[in-house]
Amino acid sequence: MSSTTKTSPVRPGASKAGGEAGRLLARLRLSRGFAWLVLFVIILVTLFPFFWILRTALTTNSSLFTGDQSMLPPEPTLVNFRRVLGLATDEEVRAAGGSGAELRFWLYLRNSVVFSTLVTVGQVTSCAMAAYAFARLKWRGRDAVFYVFLSSLMVPPVFILIPNFILLSDLDLLDTFAGLVAPFIFMTPFMVFFLRQFFLGISSELEEAARLDGAGHVRIFARICVPVMAAPLTTAAILAYVIAWNEFMWPLVAGNDPSVRVLTVGLSVFRSGQPQAAPDWSGLMAATVLGALPVILLFLLMGRRIVDSIQFTGIK
């Protein structure tokens, strides 16, 4: 925990003196206690399915439904993780209810990292510039253009997917990283919207001071806005990364070749292979854990940086 814990101004000491303070203190303790309880319940509900993912990943398919709903895996095993990593023998795979599909986990992991990193860097840079233009610059038709950008959020992704697929096919860019990142690297309506809304909240004082000093827009953007916006930009970057990491439909159709196949597509073999068949539950859950681990780590490492890396109070 960082030092920011102390920012809560509603400390007993800060409130008015006198007999009221005692009652206020008691009420505060009570309501804080209640708030903690609510938070605890929310965390419990949030985490329980993850417990279930782990339980399933540590159980073989054949004993999944015979374990009589026990909370712990009836016979814990790591075979599912070995299957996902391609370390299990053919016999083990078949005994665990798996298929003969080839899974090159490390290659797909690398591809996912390349894809998500390229998308994040490109998208955040170009969307931050666009958001600056929409939030901090004054020009004719600004809001109208913004709404046009925003309107692309309303079109179901399927209808964007197909023309883009045809375009990149014509450009002969399918099965390359260039083709894979193309629809995302310049912008997504979400990212422009997100950053614009946060850029709206910056105090204009610093900007004006800089302008009086004769700074140009590029300098204001790079030297003032970007540092001030470090927190939302970091948040945006992480959101972009996670969204790219979980992207499925586009990489499925546009990146079939193993050299560019990303993890979500690679791991989809653990969904049902046949019509009307149940998924390979254990493999799917083990794959989910391994597939999500990188973004969970990223989040924990960068989590501290999200949103509270800067004190906005210092600006005004």
Residue 154 token pair: 């309303």
- For another protein, the closer CB: 32 or 106: 32
Find the binding residues for another protein in span 118-137 (CB under 8 A). Answer: 125-127, 129-130, 132-133, 137
Q: Exactly one of 26, 162, 209, 222 binds another protein (CB under 8 A); which one?
A: 162
Q: Exactly one of 264, 266, 286, 290 binds another protein (CB under 8 A); which one?
A: 264
Smallest distance, Å, CB 114 to another protein? 19
d(CA 223, CA 203): 15
Smallest distance, Å, CB 181 to another protein? 11
Find the binding residues for another protein in span 244-263 (CB under 8 A). Answer: 246, 248, 252-253, 256
- Pick the stretch among 30-38, 77-85, 108-116 that binds another protein (CB under 8 A): 30-38
Q: Taking CB under 8 A as the rule, does residue 189 contact another protein?
A: yes
Q: Taking CB under 8 A as the rule, does residue 100 contact another protein?
A: yes
Q: Exactly one of 198, 255, 262, 266 binds another protein (CB under 8 A); which one?
A: 198
Count of alpha carbons within 13 angstroms of residue 104, beta-carbon side:
11
Q: Exactly one of 22, 76, 86, 157 binds another protein (CB under 8 A); which one?
A: 157
Find the binding residues for another protein in span 213-242 (CB under 8 A). Answer: 217-218, 221, 231-232, 235, 242
Smallest distance, Å, CB 156 to another protein? 5
Find the binding residues for another protein in span 289-308 (CB under 8 A). Answer: 291-292, 295-296, 299-300, 303-304, 306-308
Smallest distance, Å, CB 147 to another protein? 8
- For another protein, the closer CB: 78 or 303: 303
Binding string, 50-89, against another protein, x = CB under 8 A?
Answer: x-xx--------xxxxx--x--------------------
Q: Taking CB under 8 A as the rule, does residue 5 contact another protein?
A: yes
Q: Taking CB under 8 A as the rule, does residue 268 contact another protein?
A: yes
Smallest distance, Å, CB 290 to another protein? 12
Find the binding residues for another protein in span 167-186 (CB under 8 A). Answer: 167, 169, 174, 182-183, 185-186
Residue 217 CB-density burial (10 A; 0-12 exposed, 13-18 middle, 19+ buried): middle
Of 277, 253, 276, 274, the C-alpha closest to 264 is 253
- Pick the stretch among 76-84, 106-114, 201-209 that binds another protein (CB under 8 A): 201-209
3-state SS of the chain is CCHHHHHCCCCHHHCCCCHHHHHHHHHHHHHHHHHHHHHHHHHHHHHHHHHHHHHHHCCCHHHCCCCCCCCCCCCCCCHHHHHHCCCCCHHHHHHCCCCCCCCCHHHHHHHHHHHHHHHHHHHHHHHHHHHHHHHCCCCCCHHHHHHHHHHHHHCCHHHHHHHHHHHHHHCCCCCCHHHHHHHHHCCCHHHHHHHHHHHCCCCHHHHHHHHHCCCCHHHHHHHHHHHHCHHHHHHHHHHHHHHHHCCCHHHHHHCCCCCCCCHHHHHHHHCCCCCCCCCCHHHHHHHHHHHHHHHHHHHHHHHCCCCCCCCHHHCC
